[in-house]
Amino acid sequence: MLRKDIRNVAIIAHVDHGKTTLVDAMLKQSGVFRANEVVAERILDSNDLERERGITILSKNTSIFYKGVKINIVDTPGHADFGAEVERILNMVDGVLLLVDAFEGPMPQTKYVLRKALEQNLKPIVVINKIDRPDQRVDEVLDEVLELFIDLDAPEPFLDFPVVYTSAKQGIAKLSMDENSSNLAPLFETLIKEIPIPDGDVEAPFQVLVTTLDHDEYIGRIAIGRVMRGKITNKQNVLVLNGYEERKAKISKLFTYEGLKRVEIQEAMFGDIIAICGIDEIKIGETIADPNEPEMLPGIYIDEPTVSMIFSVNNSPFAGQEGEFVTSRHLSERLFKELQTNLSLRVNPTESTDSFEVCGRGELHLSILIETMRREGYEFQVERPKVINKVINGEKCEPMEFLTVDVPKEYMGTVMDLLGRRKAELTNMIELAGYIRLEFIVPARGLIGFRSTFLTSTKGTGIMHHVFHGYAPYKGDVLQRQNGVLVSMETGQVTSYALSNLEDRGVLFVVPGTEVYKGMIVGENSKEVDLWVNPCKKKHLTNIRSATSDEAIRLNTPRIFSLEQALEYINDDELVEITPKSIRLRKKILNRNPRTG
* Residues annotated in a binding site for GTP: 16-21, 129-132
Contact 129, 25 (CB under 8 A): no
Distance CA 43, CA 61 (A): 12
For residue 461, the Cα-to-chain-centroid distance in whole angstroms is: 22
Distance CA 587, CA 518 (A): 9
SS3 content of the chain, % helix, strand, coil (to 5): 25, 35, 45
Distance CA 508, CA 487 (A): 11
Q: What is the DSSP string of 7-42?
A: EEEEEEE-TTSSHHHHHHHHHHHTT-S-TT----SS
Q: At what angle do helices 412-420 and 450-457 cross, to 10 degrees?
A: 160
List, in order, residues 6 or more apart from 112 with CB less than 8 Å away.
Answer: 80, 83, 86, 467, 468
Contact 508, 560 (CB under 8 A): no
Distance CA 549, CA 539 (A): 9
φ, ψ for residue 7, nearest 5 deg: -135, 140
Distances (CA, A) of 357 to 13, 162, 337, 352, 468: 31, 46, 15, 10, 21
Contact 478, 422 (CB under 8 A): yes
Q: What is the DSSP string of 371-414?
A: HHHHHTTB-EEEE--EE--EEETTEEEEEEEEEEEEEEGGGHHH
φ, ψ for residue 90, nearest 5 deg: -65, -15
φ, ψ for residue 309, nearest 5 deg: -140, 150
Task: List, as residue ranges, the binding site.
Answer: 16-21, 129-132
